[in-house]
Structure 1
Amino acid sequence: MPNTVIIGSGCYIPENVITGSHFMDSVFFDENNEKIDKPNDEIIQKFVEITEIEERRYISAGDYNSDLGLRASLQAIDDAGIDKEEIDYIIYATNFGEVDERGIPNFMPSLAARLKNKLGIKNRKCINYDMIFGCPGWVEALILADVLLKSGRAKNILVVGGETLSRVTDNYDRNKLIFADGAGAVVVTTTDEENVGIIADSTICDNGEELCYLENGPSLNLEDKEPRLYIRMRGRKIYEYALKNVPDAIKETIDKANLDISDIDKILIHQANAKMDYAMISRLFKLYGIKDYDHAISPMTIQKFGNSSVATVPTMFDLIRKGKMEGQSFKPGSHIIFTSVGAGMNINCVVYRFPADKI
């Protein structure tokens, strides 16, 4: 059976750098719809201490999610060295689709269809899908691409993750400081080389009481009459769920690949909250009886880029692969992990091995 390998990657990080000072004039409400009676500088500093997010990137006026995806995709296609007409599928991971500047989501036509149009692909057999799967959407899109490639239905697939969360956050919610915008993309194809590429994956969907840990809801300010829905996050519930379930899911996938944690060179985990990510990786190593580990195994971009949801993992992959992330690199023949947790609640994980002669 052929194996699925990444032959090109790209990302787009918006130019607008948003620091804590951007929120100094904000009015914040708590989950009980009560105004928070604390100085904003104190709220912002406490937020940084918990999440480590000091900066985030916001989309420019006049840009849309599909524009970010286009820029990342053009890089990935060029890096792959293929003609765009050779792409058989476009799978675009998103949560809110093509959000306009009023903050209204739009899914028709799909983001993947919009991207195909902007790429100028004429091939009518190039099929487009949107993957709506919470923050794990890009990893799940990669898993779907692997299935399509191994089934023989495709030769080249463009897998994109893009989001413009700055347009769907409640101005009165402290959690808006977490979210950011961006896009990442890869081109995947098949190879006959053995034991390379995607060698194991797993997905878990807990949709019982966990269903509403991340959802859409009205503004926390009851006097706000804007008839819109915003991201609503039950942070403590998400933290507890992720810490309990994500390490086990990662270990399950490593076991499925017949590997040990010592065989893993990098863990690219969704950049949701630095404190939570550190806790999950620490818990993973404890499952192997290891108390201390080299933190370089789990790179972090959240401090400067914030949480761009489906874009965090492919963005980080592209930056490391192209030598643009200080102190981080991939080694030919090494194993890395892609993993994420998010709305649903959904968890997924992929073990990927680079070919011995390239990354």
Structure 2
Amino acid sequence: MTRYSRVIGTGGYLPEEVRTNEQISQTVDTSDSWIFERTGIKSRRIAGAEETASSMAEIAARQAIEAAACDPEEIDLIIVATGTPDRVYPSTGCLLQRRLGIKNCVAFDVQAACSGSIFALSIADQYIKSGAAKKVLVVGSEICSRVVDWTDRGTCILFGDGAGAVLLGASDEAGILSTHIHSDGEYEDLLYCPNPQAATEANKDEAGYINMRGNEVFKVAVNTLGRIVDETLAANNMLQSDVDWLVPHQANTRIIAATAKKLKMSMDHVILTLENQGNTSSASVLLALNEGVRDGRIQRGQVVLLEAFGAGFTWGSALIKY
């Protein structure tokens, strides 16, 4: 009997503080119209002073667990995707495990930048398919606002904070149809965030803020995501018309529109959260999935394509029969 992993619950959390384009334009040389035209972003959420990746992850995770009507003790594995962990170690996964009060499970982090949740889903899928786990909690949680230089117009306009979660369960019915993950470290200097505490003499003066060469990243992202669509459809012997919903990483509306065009898909069938959330890195895909599920657009039995692209470069997709 074929064993599948299936989405049985989703959750999400956004901090209370809203930071608008207008507010940002008061401190850097930009405007609401300039930001929106180039990115599709109007506002983003900013974590409170006491919030952490694990505290936000807990809220999103509890929503997913509740939606699945699951006892937390049934969870065999917790995978947290984050580039902004509470601590270098222990992992944010272990901190989340403690917050949820789960004793008998494994917990660890995945760091694949904005593709983190896709990588985590791929790992979770393998665990369930192999029989090594029956229920896996996957969470993407990011506090990007703390690694953004708010005087850098090129990056401060893009990022926001939040957490998304999905609970996967073993099933005889098809759920995750396939996952595809890739990386290429050749592009490391186009998008990176230094770790000042691990600096060498050569880069000891670098602050721990996101550095990005936006135009170059954009070009590679559009081409790469086009290829991942082809790869995913071919692996499942599907046509573009077989996909009901696109749930993309929320980085830029122009990148998202290019991927939708590749699928010959109307933007009405794309889950967009970018306008009021910004780029929440590894949290964005799961936040968008949760929104689509909870507002009723994504229905059971529909085919959903999740995709993301991030620093590394990393990129990946997950094709799901929800």
TM over 0.5: yes
Q: What SS does structure 1 have at the residue aligned with 2:119?
A: helix
Q: Deviations over 1:186-227 (max 9, x none)?
A: 11011112xx2111221121221x1222112599xxxxx997
- Aligned match for 2:236, one of 229, 253, 257: 257
How far apart in 1 are the matches of 2:297 and 2:46? Answer: 27
User: Quick one: structure 1 residues 218 and 258, their matched pair in 2 at CA, closer, same or farther if it must change by over 3 Å?
Assistant: closer
1:113 paired residue number: 94
Correspondence 1:134-173 to 2 at 5 A: 134-173=113-152
Q: Deviations over 1:49-80 (max 9, x none)?
A: 10011110011121111110000001111111
- Count of matched residue pairs: 313
How far apart in 2 are the matches of 1:201 and 1:122? Answer: 29
How far apart in 2 are the matches of 1:44 and 1:79? Answer: 37
**Scaled by the length of structure 1, what TM-score is found?**
0.83
- Please say if residues 242 and 280 of structure 1, whose CA atoms lie closer than 8 Å, have aligned partners that are also in contact: no
Residue 96 (structure 1) shift: 2.0
How many percent of aligned residue pairs carry the same amino acid?
A: 33
2:274 paired residue number: 302
How far apart in 2 are the matches of 1:294 and 1:277? Answer: 11
1:69 paired residue number: 57
1:331 paired residue number: 299
**Scaled by the length of structure 2, what TM-score is found?**
0.93
Gaps of 5+ in 1: 28-39, 99-105, 220-224, 355-359
How far apart in 1 are the matches of 2:134 and 2:267? Answer: 37
What amino acid maps onto 1:215 in structure 2?
A: Y
- Please say if residues 163 and 182 of structure 1, whose CA atoms lie closer than 8 Å, have aligned partners that are also in contact: yes
How far apart in 1 are the matches of 2:194 and 2:64? Answer: 35
Correspondence 1:193-272 to 2 at 5 A: 193=173, 196-208=174-186, 210-217=187-194, 228-272=207-251
Q: Deviations over 1:301-331 (max 9, x none)?
A: 10011111111111111111111xxxx6013
What amino acid maps onto 1:111 in structure 2?
A: T
How far apart in 1 are the matches of 2:222 and 2:99? Answer: 40
Q: What SS does structure 1 have at the residue aligned with 2:140?
A: strand
RMSD (Å), alpha carbons: 1.8
- Please say if residues 271 and 313 of structure 1, whose CA atoms lie closer than 8 Å, have aligned partners that are also in contact: yes
How far apart in 2 are the matches of 1:226 and 1:308? Answer: 27
How far apart in 1 are the matches of 2:299 and 2:70? Answer: 24
How far apart in 1 are the matches of 2:195 and 2:149? Answer: 8
1:186 paired residue number: 166
Structure 2 residue 291 is the aligned partner of structure 1 residue 315: no
Residue 228 (structure 1) shift: 3.0
How far apart in 2 are the matches of 1:245 and 1:198? Answer: 22
What amino acid maps onto 2:158 in structure 1?
A: I
What amino acid maps onto 1:161 in structure 2?
A: G
How far apart in 2 are the matches of 1:297 and 1:75? Answer: 25
Residue 128 (structure 1) shift: 0.6
How far apart in 2 are the matches of 1:274 and 1:61? Answer: 30
What amino acid maps onto 1:4 in structure 2?
A: S
Larger radius of gyration: 1
Structure 2 residue 319 is the aligned partner of structure 1 residue 347: no
Gaps of 5+ in 2: 197-203
- Please say if residues 119 and 316 of structure 2, whose CA atoms lie closer than 8 Å, have aligned partners that are also in contact: yes
Q: Deviations over 1:109-167 (max 9, x none)?
A: 110000011111122xx001100011010011001000001111111110000000011
How far apart in 2 are the matches of 1:16 and 1:226? Answer: 31
Residue 274 (structure 1) shift: 1.2
What amino acid maps onto 1:129 in structure 2?
A: F
What amino acid maps onto 1:57 in structure 2?
A: R
- Please say if residues 133 and 140 of structure 1, whose CA atoms lie closer than 8 Å, have aligned partners that are also in contact: yes
- Please say if residues 247 and 281 of structure 1, whose CA atoms lie closer than 8 Å, have aligned partners that are also in contact: no
Structure 2 residue 26 is the aligned partner of structure 1 residue 6: no
User: Quick one: structure 1 residues 227 and 203, their matched pair in 2 at CA, closer, same or farther if it must change by over 3 Å?
Assistant: closer
Q: What SS does structure 2 have at the residue aligned with 1:129?
A: strand
How far apart in 2 are the matches of 1:213 and 1:96? Answer: 19
1:15 paired residue number: 16
